[in-house]
A and B are shown apart, each in its own frame.
Chain A
Amino acid sequence: MKYNAGKFDVAVIGAGHAGIEAALASARLGCQTVVFTINMDAVGNCPCNPSIGGTAKGHLVREIDALGGEMGKTADECFLQSRMLNRGKGPAVHSLRAQIDRRKYSDVMKHKLELQENLQLHQAEITDIEKTDDGYILTTRMLAQYEVKAVVIATGTYLGGRIFVGEVSYESGPDGIFAASFLGESLKKLGIGLRRFKTGTPARVLRSSIDFTELEEQLGDEPPIPFSYDTVNLGENKVKCHISWTNEKTKEIILENIHRSPLYGGKIEGIGPRYCPSLEDKIVRFSDKKRHQLFIEPCGLNTEEMYLQGMSSSLPEEVQLKFYHTIKGLENAVIMRPAYAIEYDCIDPTQMNAALEFKDFEGLYGAGQFNGSSGYEEAAAQGFVAGVNAALKIKGKEPLILERSSSYIGTLIDDLVTKGANEPYRMMTSRSEYRLILRQDNADVRLTPIGRKIGLISDERWERFNKKQELKQNELKRISKVVIPPGERINEILVSRETSPLSTGAKLIDLLRRPQISYKDLEPIDETRPELDANIFEQVEIEVKYAGYIEKQLKQVEQMEKLEKKKLPESFDYTEIKGLRLEAQEKLNKIKPISIGQASRISGVSPADINVLLIWLSQR
């Protein structure tokens, strides 16, 4: 029988990476928050891979941290090995990636939710969402009813989840946890359109069954760098990863059995990401490639399960065994969990505005895979924004809308709600036009003031942040003043770096401007150098070296901001503006952009349409 289980400000459906950030942000902002997870042991689960970060994703984690989110801190607490990727390719693409202990990550996150003031965590499946005059009523499978003012849907791959392994297919969420089978119907009844997406994961194999002797090792950085600006000491790398390769034999087995893949057999209708294809996809689409790389990564310290990065598959279990056994080191591998593909329900994110709130349903928010994205970090970033906005709404405040120029989070959300996602959306550095200002090293400079304003940055952290900025400014001033006279020592350094020696004195800042010269190079001749945090030196060096580019991008930002500031009405029928082309009218009515800036990014809206909009706007 239905019973009234109480009133809350905010309900979060799902306690994965999106749900966690949403719930913590909402509760920390003082809202009574209830979180529902289908299985208490699946809070913060990492069913996809045992790592956090990576290119552009590392940026997202740093940004979440800078705003006052949790992912970076927990990843640091659970880290096994950490590497800064792309060191040689330039600061814009430097990205942190950490192997984590996935069970520990789940435990730590669950415990944080349990300890959080204003937050209740429940094991329950939500089966129905009903709209009321001033909020929503959520019903659980046990018929408990919760009256709430705002809802964040973060259902991940659970919503209508279906697993595929070869000819075998059944309703299920990830890792054998059951799926959310009822909520989809309820959403459809509300009038929310759903679509099917697909993702997958490789097998986990027993460590002792792998022969590591001839495999290349991959070690972490020394010293490892933390994600969080709060983490003081990360400790040492705890594990090694290994690299192996597929070969012609692997390819042969896969091609022989390709008809047994549910994707090629036509059983999967969901759209899978191009960037996370299964091994069979890679082999079919890039048939001239002779071999594919794989990484063997430990899943934790208290488990012998090993993850095979790059070897995702939905072929039958016995075929998996066969092709894994062709790979060097895996000849006798024992599969503990088979690889699988999973298909799930998600929405077309253009149904939402930039606050991640449904345009047609006030107080209803979505985040993560439900919104059509892919990846823990993308999910956490959206969860954070959705949770903050649910809370701000209840407090009657303006929503948090991050500009593209402020962050990868802003870019991610703008892409989703403006362009939509035709396949699971993964963050990439190439998606940002402002790469040189949106770096992982300066996420705090960009976003901590915003986090402070929202109310998620403690006094202690804010003070530390300000102190750091002061030290940075002082250091910039210092290097602009200190002149290094020509001399044997400095010229030796310069020549060894293949750059021209000094004949007259040069300021430190000018030496640092040379692409070949780093802070570290100048240490022996820089006698007045203060002791500072490594991140300060990093930021100063990048700002000096890339000053021209940074300035260029800042000018672009300035130009774009003029358009972002020209706000469009929330609800308006664009067919009333006759001068707009038909396609533009349709797109504008669908997306309902908040500004001319956003309108200009909609495909199908031309510069001439923008001119028409500007004129129309000036007459209102």
Chain B
Amino acid sequence: MKSDTIAAISTAQGEGGIGVIRVSGKNSIEICDRIFKAVSGRKLSDMKGYTAALGHVYKDDEKLDEVIATVFREPHSYTGENIVELSCHGGIFITREILRTVIEAGAEPALAGEFTKRAFLNGKLDLTEAEAVIDIISAKSKNAARAAILAKEGALWRRIENIKNKLVTTAAHFSAWADYPEEDIEEVSVESLSNTFNECLFDLNKLLSTYDMGQTVKEGIDTVIAGKPNTGKSTLMNLISGRNRSIVTDIPGTTRDIIEETVSVGGVILRLSDTAGMRDTEDKVEKIGVDIAKSRIKNCGLVLAVFDAGRELDEDDKKLIENVKDAPVIAVINKTDLEKKLDEKYIGDRIEKIVKISAKNGEGFDELCQLIEKIAGTADFNPSEGILANERQRNAAKNAKKSLEEATQALNAGMTFDAVTVSIEEAIENILELTGERVSDVVVDNVFHNFCVGK
């Protein structure tokens, strides 16, 4: 059963500052009590509206962050419902971890514009026209839809979809077998159901436990730093991330693997990857790095193509321009501190956005940041929707797991299959919520597609 309490990150995703996770709904206070412990030892449910408490958010027994929890009691809140706002130390990882903890404790990831909707329906918004609210919601849902599409391109979604497909096939098998008892359809057996459940539960557990590993779940614009060897890609990466993470050296080909960093550039979250220098190479190991870099460029959201101002434009540079010219790209002319030998016009004719910097001493960095913000703005990318899209997927996987565990229990207890399928369909429904399809349509379609049924 869906909770009526919703949660989302309500601050923009930027570096530093404060991150606020807003939880709204009948059980919001009770849910936050499960994960928040005040220093004073007082429970949120014992607090009045408009009061705050300092304390910590816990995930299991691990202290996640020091936060201030502010309690609002209905109807005196933004949405008109009970609200808890958890103000934490900002930053994408910590706010997301707290959001997830709240969801684990029983809240649902908010749909686009849902806070506004609730506020309006509860008569809390001073918007005279419903249209204004509708505009907000539809604008937010467009963002959310885009974020959902991006999320669906991820490896995570493919894994969730695999599980869904297995379950749909199982439900369809039961349906064909029950709805067409006079066709010779293979019997549904406890063993076959049990095997499918075990497989899906194994996959779901693995998926949930590795959810934060790998690139699939890191939020932000997938940004690739590309360029031939020794143009200063690593120095640029270090400059942007503000940390000395990549190995910087003058020997060409040092950075052979993809190195990733999630950074915030003027309110835009970038998932930055420093790639191996792109050049024709005989070195097998290096070649792998170059191939990965090429495929990265194809699939990323932004390319920072780095050129060396102190060297003549060569074939490697031209190949790079060829590779990136259709992607959202900024040409970064580095090493402006050196004597200029580069043909900038050749680049400028082919790449619209161009910036000159010295990664070594930081000159031109502000200009680069502005360009990044601009390009991100035109792409209308909303990083916090991205997080929610991912959290919704995760939540769907988690709920599907719960339903499957119920199905397993029912099966083990010897319940009839019609009851077991209620839980299977519930698991499918949890996943289909991400796509807006309906269980019965999907199952019935599968029956006709895969089973020879007649009259």
Chain A interface (Cβ < 8 Å from any Cβ of B): 48-49, 55-56, 85-86, 88-93, 95, 274-277, 279, 282, 285-286, 289, 292-293, 295, 309-310, 312, 419, 428-433, 435-436, 515-516, 546, 549, 552-553, 555-556, 559, 577-581, 601, 603, 606-608, 611-612, 614-616, 618-619
Closest chain B CB from A564 CB (angstroms): 16
Q: Which residue of B lies closest to A218 (CB)?
A: B182
Check A515–B413 contact: CB distance below 8 A: yes
Q: Which residue of B lies closest to A310 (CB)?
A: B454
In the complex, whether B181 has a CB less than 8 A from a CB of chain A is yes
Q: Which of B134, B182, B444, B453 contacts A578 (CB 8 A)?
A: B134
Check B131–A579 contact: CB distance below 8 A: yes
In the complex, whether B120 has a CB less than 8 A from a CB of chain A is yes
Q: A310-B455, A430-B443 are in contact. Are A515 and B111 (CB under 8 A)?
A: no
Q: A430-B443, A433-B440 are in contact. Are A577 and B134 (CB under 8 A)?
A: yes
Q: Which of B2, B120, B418 contacts A436 (CB 8 A)?
A: B418
Check B134–A612 contact: CB distance below 8 A: yes
| Residue in B117, B134, B137, B171 whose Cβ sees the most chain A Cβ within 10 Å | B134
Enumerate chain A residues within 8 angstroms of B138, measured Cβ to Cβ: 579-581, 608, 612
Check B171–A615 contact: CB distance below 8 A: no
In the complex, whether B41 has a CB less than 8 A from a CB of chain A is no
Enumerate chain A residues within 8 angstroms of B172, measured Cβ to Cβ: 430
Per-residue CB proximity of B258-297 to A under 8 Å, as 1/0? 0000000000000000000000000000000000000000
Chain B residues 390 to 434 lying within 8 A of chain A, measured CB to CB, are 413-419, 421-422, 425
Check B454–A275 contact: CB distance below 8 A: yes
The secondary-structure label for the interface of chain B is: helix
Q: Which of B130, B178, B436 contacts A429 (CB 8 A)?
A: B178
Check A546–B178 contact: CB distance below 8 A: no
Closest chain B CB from A331 CB (angstroms): 22
Q: Which of B1, B113, B454 contacts A611 (CB 8 A)?
A: B113
Enumerate chain A residues within 8 angstroms of B371, measured Cβ to Cβ: none
In the complex, whether B169 has a CB less than 8 A from a CB of chain A is no
In the complex, whether B438 has a CB less than 8 A from a CB of chain A is yes
Enumerate chain B residues within 8 angstroms of A56, measured Cβ to Cβ: 179
Check A277–B120 contact: CB distance below 8 A: no
Q: Which residue of A lies closest to B175 (CB)?
A: A430
Check A615–B181 contact: CB distance below 8 A: no
Enumerate chain B residues within 8 angstroms of A276, measured Cβ to Cβ: 454-455
Check B131–A430 contact: CB distance below 8 A: no
Q: Which of A85, A91, A556, A579 contacts B137 (CB 8 A)?
A: A579
Check B130–A619 contact: CB distance below 8 A: yes
Q: A277-B454, A282-B452, A615-B120 are in contact. Are A90 and B181 (CB under 8 A)?
A: no
22 contacts between A and B (CB under 8 A): A85-B181, A86-B181, A88-B416, A89-B178, A93-B179, A275-B454, A285-B452, A293-B184, A429-B178, A430-B447, A436-B419, A436-B422, A578-B131, A579-B134, A606-B436, A608-B137, A611-B111, A611-B113, A612-B134, A612-B137, A615-B117, A615-B130
Closest chain B CB from A287 CB (angstroms): 10
Enumerate chain A residues within 8 angstroms of B121, measured Cβ to Cβ: 614-615, 618
Enumerate chain A residues within 8 angstroms of B134, measured Cβ to Cβ: 577-579, 612, 615-616
Check A274–B448 contact: CB distance below 8 A: yes
Check B440–A432 contact: CB distance below 8 A: yes
Q: Which of A275, A603, A612 contacts B453 (CB 8 A)?
A: A275
| Residue in A286, A295, A436, A608 whose Cβ sees the most chain B Cβ within 10 Å | A608
In the complex, whether B307 has a CB less than 8 A from a CB of chain A is no
Enumerate chain B residues within 8 angstroms of A606, measured Cβ to Cβ: 141, 145, 436
Q: A429-B175, A608-B112 are in contact. Are A546 and B181 (CB under 8 A)?
A: no
Q: A292-B452, A601-B438 are in contact. Are A608 and B144 (CB under 8 A)?
A: yes
8 additional contacts, CB 8 Å, given A90-B415, A293-B182, A579-B138?
A91-B418, A274-B448, A310-B454, A428-B179, A430-B172, A553-B422, A555-B1, A615-B120
Compute the total of residue contacts between A and B using a CB distance below 8 Å: 159
Enumerate chain A residues within 8 angstroms of B178, measured Cβ to Cβ: 55, 86, 89, 93, 429-430
Check A618–B179 contact: CB distance below 8 A: no
In the complex, whether B183 has a CB less than 8 A from a CB of chain A is yes
A431 to B114, CA, bound (A): 30
Chain B residues 112 to 165 lying within 8 A of chain A, measured CB to CB, are 112-114, 117, 120-121, 130-131, 133-135, 137-138, 141, 144-145
Q: Which residue of B lies closest to A311 (CB)?
A: B454
Enumerate chain B residues within 8 angstroms of A612, measured Cβ to Cβ: 134, 137-138
Enumerate chain B residues within 8 angstroms of A309, measured Cβ to Cβ: 182, 455
Check A608–B455 contact: CB distance below 8 A: no
Nearest 4 A/B pairs, CB to CB? A90-B418, A90-B416, A579-B134, A608-B141
Q: Which residue of A lies closest to B425 (CB)?
A: A433
Check A89–B135 contact: CB distance below 8 A: no
In the complex, whether B365 has a CB less than 8 A from a CB of chain A is no
Q: Which residue of A lies closest to B177 (CB)?
A: A89
Enumerate chain A residues within 8 angstroms of B444, measured Cβ to Cβ: 428, 430-431
Check B454–A92 contact: CB distance below 8 A: no
| Residue in A48, A89, A601, A615 whose Cβ sees the most chain B Cβ within 10 Å | A615
Check B447–A546 contact: CB distance below 8 A: no
A580 to B141, CA, bound (A): 11
A404 to B417, CA, bound (A): 22
Enumerate chain B residues within 8 angstroms of A90, measured Cβ to Cβ: 415-419
Q: Which of A49, A419, A428 contacts B175 (CB 8 A)?
A: A428
Check A618–B454 contact: CB distance below 8 A: no
A606 to B416, CA, bound (A): 35
Enumerate chain B residues within 8 angstroms of A85, measured Cβ to Cβ: 181-182
Q: Which of B111, B130, B418 contacts A616 (CB 8 A)?
A: B130
Enumerate chain A residues within 8 angstroms of B83, measured Cβ to Cβ: none
Enumerate chain A residues within 8 angstroms of B177, measured Cβ to Cβ: 89
Check A515–B415 contact: CB distance below 8 A: yes
Enumerate chain B residues within 8 angstroms of A310, measured Cβ to Cβ: 182-183, 454-455
A295 to B181, CA, bound (A): 12
Closest chain B CB from A217 CB (angstroms): 14
Check A275–B422 contact: CB distance below 8 A: no
Q: A608-B144, A614-B117, A618-B121 are in contact. Are A49 and B455 (CB under 8 A)?
A: yes
Q: Which residue of B lies closest to A288 (CB)?
A: B452
A275 to B455, CA, bound (A): 7
Check A611–B114 contact: CB distance below 8 A: yes
Enumerate chain A residues within 8 angstroms of B454, measured Cβ to Cβ: 275-277, 279, 282, 292, 310, 312
In the complex, whether B321 has a CB less than 8 A from a CB of chain A is no
Closest chain A CB from B175 CB (angstroms): 4
| Residue in B2, B130, B443, B455 whose Cβ sees the most chain A Cβ within 10 Å | B455
A426 to B112, CA, bound (A): 37
Enumerate chain B residues within 8 angstroms of A279, measured Cβ to Cβ: 454
Closest chain B CB from A79 CB (angstroms): 18
Enumerate chain B residues within 8 angstroms of A552, measured Cβ to Cβ: 1, 422
A55 to B131, CA, bound (A): 48
Enumerate chain A residues within 8 angstroms of B455, measured Cβ to Cβ: 48-49, 275-276, 309-310, 312
Q: Which residue of B lies closest to A88 (CB)?
A: B416
A581 to B436, CA, bound (A): 15
Enumerate chain A residues within 8 angstroms of B111, measured Cβ to Cβ: 607-608, 611
A435 to B421, CA, bound (A): 10
Check A618–B422 contact: CB distance below 8 A: no
Chain B residues 165 to 220 lying within 8 A of chain A, measured CB to CB, are 171-172, 174-175, 177-184, 188
A92 to B436, CA, bound (A): 26
In the complex, whether B7 has a CB less than 8 A from a CB of chain A is no
Q: Which residue of B lies closest to A556 (CB)?
A: B1
Enumerate chain A residues within 8 angstroms of B419, measured Cβ to Cβ: 90, 92, 436, 546, 549
Chain B residues 297 to 324 lying within 8 A of chain A, measured CB to CB, are none
Check B141–A516 contact: CB distance below 8 A: no
Enumerate chain A residues within 8 angstroms of B6, measured Cβ to Cβ: none
Check B414–A295 contact: CB distance below 8 A: no
Check A615–B452 contact: CB distance below 8 A: no
Closest chain B CB from A463 CB (angstroms): 33
Q: Which residue of A lies closest to B123 (CB)?
A: A618
A91 to B425, CA, bound (A): 17
A89 to B415, CA, bound (A): 10
Q: Which residue of B lies closest to A515 (CB)?
A: B414
